[in-house]
Chain A
Amino acid sequence: SQKIEQNSEALNIQEGKTATLTCNYTNYSPAYLQWYRQDPGRGPVFLLLIRENEKEKRKERLKVTFDTTLKQSLFHITASQPADSATYLCALPRGSTLGRLYFGRGTQLTVWP
């Protein structure tokens, strides 16, 4: 069955540095991958989607890469700020039914001043 792993439960970095979060998957070849942000007590919020034929996607300070050979996506936040502190989830489509997602456990990012 499909499996998603996010590199660590928690990542702590200093303000201004680049945060890099990892999402690895096994046992299938997804057509796309999504990243979400979740704040405590709130639902996840969609950030970025990257398709299998795209190597990189950018949105403001966010950058996502997608390496289908390594079966890995990297999520970067440049010039990180304390307001970026949250849990970040990666999600991949479930099987052949488009629109349904598997989610990773998430990585809790803390950016300290």
Chain B
Amino acid sequence: ETGVTQTPRHLVMGMTNKKSLKCEQHLGHNAMYWYKQSAKKPLELMFVYNFKEQTENNSVPSRFSPECPNSSHLFLHLHTLQPEDSALYLCASSQGEGREHQPQHFGDGTRLSIL
């Protein structure tokens, strides 16, 4: 059971499509994160939001555009993606940045395939 819900679970899209990934957390947390997980590679942090403000963009290409309308919801807007963007995209939340030792709670991810 997870307090972080991601939709859709699977997404197949062409390189010219536009789609969005959604993440919702029911834990009352203030920080939310997007990660990319590719086969045989560590989780790569993409974006961090703390109290709805973006606090990190880890050199992510502009074809990925995050949006955080409130502390419970996080979106990742996708457009003109490349085949190498195929991966598992994970959303996570924690109590808040600057709160040391807080574990992150993950959703089950969106498996994205770019044709």
> Which of B42, B48, B97, B103 is within 8 Å of A104, CB to CB?
B42
How long is the Cα–Cα vector from A90 to B86 in the complex, in angstroms? Answer: 24
User: Interface residue count for A (Cβ, 8 Å)?
Assistant: 26
Q: Is the interface of B mostly helix, strand, loop or mixed?
A: loop
On chain A, the residues within 8 Å of B106 by CB distance are 43-45
How long is the Cα–Cα vector from A97 to B94 in the complex, in angstroms? Answer: 14
On chain B, the residues within 8 Å of A4 by CB distance are 42
Using CB atoms, name the residue of chain A closest to B43: A103
List 18 interface pairs A-B (beta carbons < 8 Å), by A numbering.
Answer: A32-B101, A41-B109, A43-B2, A43-B106, A44-B90, A46-B103, A49-B101, A49-B103, A93-B100, A97-B98, A98-B98, A99-B94, A99-B96, A99-B98, A99-B99, A101-B104, A105-B41, A105-B42
Q: Give me the interface of A with B, judged by CB distance under 8 Å.
A: 4, 9, 31-32, 34, 41-46, 49, 51, 89, 93-94, 97-106
